[in-house]
Structure 1
Amino acid sequence: MPSRPKVSTSDEYIKMAAPDIQPILQKLRTLIHQELPNAEEKILYNMPFFIFNNKKIGIAAYKAHVSLQISDDLSSEVVKLARKLGFETGQKRLNIDLDQQVPEELVLKILQMIEA
């Protein structure tokens, strides 16, 4: 499987994503900057990451979804809410399918976990 071309900025990463994925990535990026204005934005592992209080928040594009990943485990409250709203989660991530709207309130709850 071919690897993704190297990127040096989040703008490049978003621009290289499929057209239907770009608005989701941009919305997540905007929400992160709104909630964590002092987060440092950088490329790690060839993906956009935001560093705040020595914790990482990443956004990644896949074929059928976009993931928001954090370095801490999601709380059980956040996982329950995500599943109730129809979103798939993992231990440290929220997946947003391409036919779903970005769940702003849920994303903000996740980002507030980083602030704590």
Structure 2
Amino acid sequence: MPSRIPVTDTADYISKAAPAAQPILSTLAQLITTELPTATPKIKWNLPFYDLDKKYVSIAAYKAHVSLSISADLTPDVLAQAKEAGLTTGQKRVNIPLDQAVPTDVVKAVLALIK
């Protein structure tokens, strides 16, 4: 999303994202709720966040990718796994290009870091 449009919940955010980002966002939201069933969904800064105790996961759509961010640093193993899957990374995030399927195993490994 080029700018942060006000949204009410995750479904609203996904519906307002670029069409190419919507399937990735939907898959990520489903994986988060499956892998972290006690996480509380919230909207912060007009982005979907999932709070888990004092930790969080967030998703965000951008022009060329969707980001999955967590409150913990990614481990060297997870960084290597993400790069092997063709993803760009940061200290606490992975970026999934809009033309790539969601690498479920990488996402589960990222989410496991905050369980």
1:45 and 2:45 matched: yes
Counterpart residue type for residue 81 of structure 1: Q
Structure 2 unaligned blocks of 5 or more: none
- Secondary structure of 2:94's counterpart equals strand
Q: Which residue of 1 aligns with 2:59?
A: 59
- Secondary structure of 1:114's counterpart equals coil
Give, in whole Å, the separation in 2 of the partners of 1:23 and 1:33: 16
Give, in whole Å, the separation in 2 of the partners of 1:49 and 1:27: 15
Compute the displacement of 1:4 (Å). 2.5
Structure 1 unaligned blocks of 5 or more: none
Aligned residues: 114
**Structure 1 ranges of 4+ moved more than 4 A:** none
Q: Provide Cα deviations, 1:24-82, integer angstroms capped at 9, x if missing partner.
A: 00000000011011100000111000011210100000000000000111001000111
Q: Which residue of 2 aligns with 1:73?
A: 73
Give, in whole Å, the separation in 2 of the partners of 1:110 and 1:20: 23
Tell me the TM-score normalized by structure 1.
Answer: 0.94
Q: Which residue of 2 aligns with 1:93?
A: 93
How large is the Cα RMSD of the aligned pairs?
A: 1.1
Give, in whole Å, the separation in 1 of the partners of 2:97 and 2:3: 22
Tell me the TM-score normalized by structure 2.
Answer: 0.95
Give, in whole Å, the separation in 2 of the partners of 1:22 and 1:47: 14
